Amino acid sequence: MRKLNRYVARTVWLSILLVLLVIVGIDGLSAFIDESDSRSASYGFAEIGRYVMLTMPRRVYEFIPFAALIGALIGLGQLASTSELVVMRAAGISNSRLAWMVLKQAALIAILGFLLGEYVAPAAEQQAQSGRALARYAGKQVDTGKGIWRRDGAVFLHVQAVSGDNEVFGVTVYEFETGGWMRRAMFADSGRYEEQGWVLNDVVSSEFSKDGVTKGRESEIFVPSNITPKILSLENVAPSQLPLVDLIDYSAFLRSQGEDVADFELATWRKLMQPAAVAALVLIAISFVFGPLRDGTLGFRIFAGVMVGILFQLSQDLLGPASLVFGFPPLYAALAPVLACVLVGLYLLRRA
């Protein structure tokens, strides 16, 4: 029985890894081509290649559920095509036992994917985004259409690039009075976080009053702020690409600022549901091979898997924003597609 377990596991793993390699490779190549449109003197092919390589862990993490579905369909379909599944069942191994063999591998893949999404992908993604922003920063030019915006009370901070050593570049600060009138606007070439605020260097400022606008230039200004370098680095990536600890901490910070955190709650539940999603999609693959796709060709199995994967992704993409618009709990939006896959998979397995 151990040899059979290892054989099934090896077949499933090889198929999933092959599918993952192909999908991530195509996605990475596409990203490299897209980034080439933004090439400049400071952001060349070397910097683009480094950016794409650092985003690879995130791409692997995102495609694990899809690759698990297609890979399980291919692996089990191969066993069905060569009548090995028939031989296993003739030897007294039930469908449920075979399904459990595959689901154990799915659980292992889900755990590895979760660890990748928690400890490797977020750090690499933050390095990728920071490195790209630094390379794109042409120096001394304000571009408020790019970079990071963050509010701290009556102060609005915009940063074009964040480095890994608590430094920021291309800093714009807008300070407002209680009534909503702008009191001061500042632009600094760079800044560094120290204790309870930012020390800005080479600052050009404009102070607004009833008498007019007063312009000035100072080599250094200290701006008290609760916005830390970590908060800016978290703003640099999408909520879905943050680890759970940072999602929870950043949600607490946004609540203290009176901001809506529904999208961060949705990202938290989706991350928690990722292992269950992998297992549910593999269960669908198992039920297809034991049921309606038992005698199907490899091409048709791949087509069916792609369609199921697309439907699963569409349901997530629709239910997620719907939960933010209509106000129902994000947990339901993250749980519904997974639960639907489990119910369909169990129904098909029962019929088989």
**Using CA atoms, how far apart are residues 352 and 344, in angstroms rounded to an integer?**
12
Contacts of 208 (CB under 8 A, 6+ apart): 181, 182, 183, 184, 185
pLDDT at site 209: 81
Domains of the chain in start order, with CATH, are: 2-135+260-351 (no CATH), 148-235 (2.30.30)
pLDDT at site 145: 60
Mean pLDDT score of the chain: 86
Answer positive or negative: Cα dihedral of 56, 62, 65, 67: negative
First-to-last alpha carbon distance for the chain, in angstroms, is: 23
Average pLDDT of 177-205? 87
pLDDT digits (tens, 9 = 90+) for 317-345: 899 888 878 888 888 999 999 999 999 98
Residue 89 clears pLDDT 70, i.e. is over it: yes
- The two structure tokens encoding residue 6: 């290892």
**Using CA atoms, how far apart are residues 163 and 106, in angstroms rounded to an integer?**
38
Residue 220, phi-psi category: left (phi > 0), alpha (psi -120 to 50), beta (remainder):
beta
329 DSSP 8-state letter = -
Which spans in the chain are helix H? 2-36, 45-81, 84-90, 95-115, 121-136, 229-235, 244-256, 262-290, 298-326, 330-351
Provide the whole-model pTM: 0.84
pLDDT at site 139: 45
* Longest CA span, the chain: 93
pLDDT digits (tens, 9 = 90+) for 224-238: 888 888 888 877 788
Q: How confident is the model at residue 144 (pLDDT cuts 50, 70, 90)?
A: low
Amino acid at 326: F
pLDDT at site 142: 53
pLDDT digits (tens, 9 = 90+) for 29-48: 999 999 998 888 878 899 99
Amino acid at 55: T
In 3D space, the residue among 169, 174, 160 whose CA is nearest the CA of residue 200 turns out to be 169
pLDDT digits (tens, 9 = 90+) for 247-281: 888 888 778 877 778 888 889 999 999 999 999 99
- Taking the mean position of all CA atoms in its chain, how far away is CA 285? 24
Residue 150 clears pLDDT 70, i.e. is over it: yes
